[in-house]
Amino acid sequence: MALHGKKAPSASQTRRVSRRVNDSMIGSHVERGSSARGRHAAGADRPARVDFSDGRRSRRADRGMVDQVDVGATSGESDSDYARRRARRSYAEEIQAKGRRRKMIFFGAVALLVVVVAAVAGTAAFFAWSDSQLSLGDSNAKEALTAPEEGAPYYALLSADLAKNTAAPSASDEAYLAVRIDEGARTLTFISLPPSVSVELSDGERHALRDATSVGGDAELLRAAGSLLGVQFAHFASTDAEGLASLVDLVGGVPVELSEEVDDPRAGIHVLAAGSQTLDGAQALTLLRAANYSDAMGMQAKMRALFTVNLAERATSGEGLSFPSVIADGAPFVSTDWTSGQLISLGDALSPLTEATVYAAVVPGRLTTSDEGEETYEVSDEDLAAMMETVNAGNSPESFEGNLANVDRSLVTVEVRNGSGIQGAAARCGELLTSAGYDVKSVGNVDDGTVYPETLVIYKDEAFEIAAKAIVSDLSAGRVVNGGDFYTFDTNVLVIIGTDWIG
């Protein structure tokens, strides 16, 4: 069976198809001057003839044959319409553009995420390093710490060993400050605990507070101080002389306002003039060790509280190093359970410290000296209980009833008699009382020549009991006695100097 191919179109068929193609082009080509034939005659809506740049194509078009339409042919649309059409993106181009935008957004988000992760990692590394430096190390202090209630005031114990790198063994080498912190009220209350205060420790014996760490570590110190004040501590921080001096120098010095000159050879070689000044590390140690103020223990407590607040203010003020930087750089000098984040939050809560309320007081009592020359601070339990009740209520420790600070010393008349057998002791005592503001009427010796083993501060009228206590505090010596009719004197208070008094 023979196979036959499809018969090729004839010339007439080809011309008919070509004419149909021309009819479908709706006059979109450039018109030439020659006329067209048949249905392709020139009219209002069609050109007379199409024009091609190639002569061969033009001749083929004359015969009704069109192979293709040049894409560059001029259309009937206006130039502005043509520009807008050419400016519009095709569908494919629009898809590609959206894809590029999605990629840009994706990679931008990835870059931002990388930056955030790096910042978080850097911050975490900063806090982790600072916390490792601030940590308590091998201290057992956490055993005695109690977490505070949310939003409630809490207590912290600050401890400083000021004896490092000093050859002044008789100076006040230890400093203990209990601080009540009320972030909501922006109030700090400092209570100075004398290192020689007698406390009972876990071994069942009575010791000076300074011996607590040797008996049971920092936890023993916290328990003893808490038992004395009737409080629980939430935080603990300690440093030494070298660390304290480094912190002062780190913040560029600590400004203080001194009400009197500080000149205590046992505390250091520096003499600090009264008035405003900025202390460097070495000068700060002299201030903190000094104890020869007119009101020795009371003034020392106030100076230590003032210094602590001013140091904290300097660190948080943003002058020089930022507070986080101070924490990071100062971390090696402090041992504490506080974390970097907690310290920063505390600084934010109390800042500016210059506008915070700050109180300072010392545990009520008196300093006594044994026959062996050992000093012991005897606490007035009744006055301490009254003071702590006031402090826990958020008030000034100086406002509790019977507070020695409220005594108007200029209205208290005093007679001083020497019963120590030490020449000039009465005169020296009279000078100290006069400088403290008392009205000293007379100075002399006891009438019967008796040598008294202890200093007595005697009153008759109950109204002057508090004045007698104030004298004991100001002299850092003496025992308050209700003289009744046993002693004869015309002043409000009689002071008999005993052999225990060191003028």
Q: Where are the alpha helices (DSSP H) in 34-90?
A: 55-62, 79-87
Residue 22's nearest CA partner among 35, 34, 39 is 39
Q: HSE (CB half, 13 Å, CA atoms) of 401? A: 3
Query: Residue 305 CB: number of other CB atoms within 10 A?
Result: 23
Read off the pTM. Answer: 0.59
* Residues forming beta bridges with residue 235, ordered by sequence position: 156
Residue 392 has pLDDT above 80, yes or no: yes
Query: What per-residue confidence (pLDDT) applies to 415?
Result: 95
| Candidate from 55-59, 143-147, 458-462 with smallest mean pLDDT | 55-59
Residue 229 has pLDDT above 50, yes or no: yes
Report how far residue 494's alpha carbon sits from residue 498's, in angstroms, rounded to the nearest whole number.
13
Query: What per-residue confidence (pLDDT) applies to 497?
Result: 93
Query: What is the average per-residue pLDDT within 129-148?
Result: 80
Single-letter code of the amino acid located at 384: L
Which DSSP symbol is given to 303? H
pLDDT band at 214 (very low <50, low <70, confident <90, very high): very high
Query: What per-residue confidence (pLDDT) applies to 41?
Result: 47
**What does the block give as tokens for 151?**
């939003």
Query: What per-residue confidence (pLDDT) applies to 14?
Result: 65
Contacts of 380 (CB under 8 A, 6+ apart): 364, 365, 366, 469
Calculate the average pLDDT of the chain: 78
Q: What proportion of the chain, given as a percentage, has pLDDT over 90?
A: 27
* Structural domain boundaries in the chain: 30-66, 95-133, 141-404, 407-497
Query: What per-residue confidence (pLDDT) applies to 399?
Result: 66
Query: What is the average per-residue pLDDT within 204-227?
Result: 94
Query: What is the average per-residue pLDDT within 466-473?
Result: 86
Query: What per-residue confidence (pLDDT) applies to 34?
Result: 46
Residue 168 has pLDDT above 50, yes or no: no
Query: What is the average per-residue pLDDT within 80-91?
Result: 59
Query: What per-residue confidence (pLDDT) applies to 404?
Result: 67
Query: What is the average per-residue pLDDT within 454-460?
Result: 91
Residue 76 has pLDDT above 90, yes or no: no
Instruction: Detail the DSSP E strand segments found in 332-453.
Output: 335-336, 357-362, 365-369, 375-379, 413-418, 439-445
**What does the block give as tokens for 491?**
């002043």
Residue 50 has pLDDT above 60, yes or no: no
pLDDT band at 321 (very low <50, low <70, confident <90, very high): low
pLDDT tens-digit map of 230-240? 999 999 999 99
> When comparing pLDDT for 92 and 447, which is higher?
447
Residue 261 has pLDDT above 50, yes or no: yes
> When comparing pLDDT for 291 and 417, which is higher?
417
Give backbone dihedrals phi and psi of 362, rounded to 5 degrees, phi first: -115, 150
Query: Residue 393 CB: number of other CB atoms within 10 A?
Result: 9
Query: What is the average per-residue pLDDT within 408-425?
Result: 90
End-to-end CA distance of the chain: 148
Residue 228 has pLDDT above 70, yes or no: yes
Query: What is the average per-residue pLDDT within 19-27?
Result: 55
Q: Please answer whether residues 392 and 402 qualify as being in contact, where contact means their C-beta atoms are separated by less than 8 angstroms.
A: no
Query: What per-residue confidence (pLDDT) applies to 109?
Result: 64
pLDDT band at 220 (very low <50, low <70, confident <90, very high): very high
> When comparing pLDDT for 281 and 63, which is higher?
281
* Residues forming beta bridges with residue 336, ordered by sequence position: 237
Query: What per-residue confidence (pLDDT) applies to 316?
Result: 82
Report how far residue 306's alpha carbon sits from residue 52's, in angstroms, rounded to the nearest whole number.
102
Report how far residue 457's alpha carbon sits from residue 496's, in angstroms, rounded to the nearest whole number.
7
Query: What per-residue confidence (pLDDT) applies to 221?
Result: 96
Q: What proportion of the chain, given as a percentage, has pLDDT over 70?
A: 68
Query: What per-residue confidence (pLDDT) applies to 167?
Result: 47
Query: What per-residue confidence (pLDDT) applies to 327?
Result: 78
Are the folds of 141-404 and 407-497 the same? no
Query: What per-residue confidence (pLDDT) applies to 345?
Result: 87
Report how far residue 435's alpha carbon sits from residue 260's, in angstroms, rounded to the nearest whole number.
12
Q: Please answer whether residues 156 and 231 qualify as being in contact, where contact means their C-beta atoms are separated by less than 8 angstroms.
A: no
Residue 255's nearest CA partner among 288, 286, 274, 279 is 279
Residues in the chain: 503
pLDDT band at 27 (very low <50, low <70, confident <90, very high): very low
Candidates 3.80.30.20, 3.90.950.20, 1.10.580.10, 3.30.70.2390; CATH matching 407-497: 3.30.70.2390
Report how far residue 104's alpha carbon sits from residue 97's, in angstroms, rounded to the nearest whole number.
11
Query: Residue 150 CB: number of other CB atoms within 10 A?
Result: 5
Query: What per-residue confidence (pLDDT) applies to 169?
Result: 46
| Candidate from 26-35, 300-309, 415-424, 492-501 with smallest mean pLDDT | 26-35
For the ranges 9-23, 137-151, 351-365, the one whose mean pLDDT is highest: 137-151
CATH number of 141-404: 3.40.630.190
Query: What per-residue confidence (pLDDT) applies to 63?
Result: 62
Contacts of 398 (CB under 8 A, 6+ apart): 359, 361, 405, 406
> When comparing pLDDT for 502 and 251, which is higher?
251
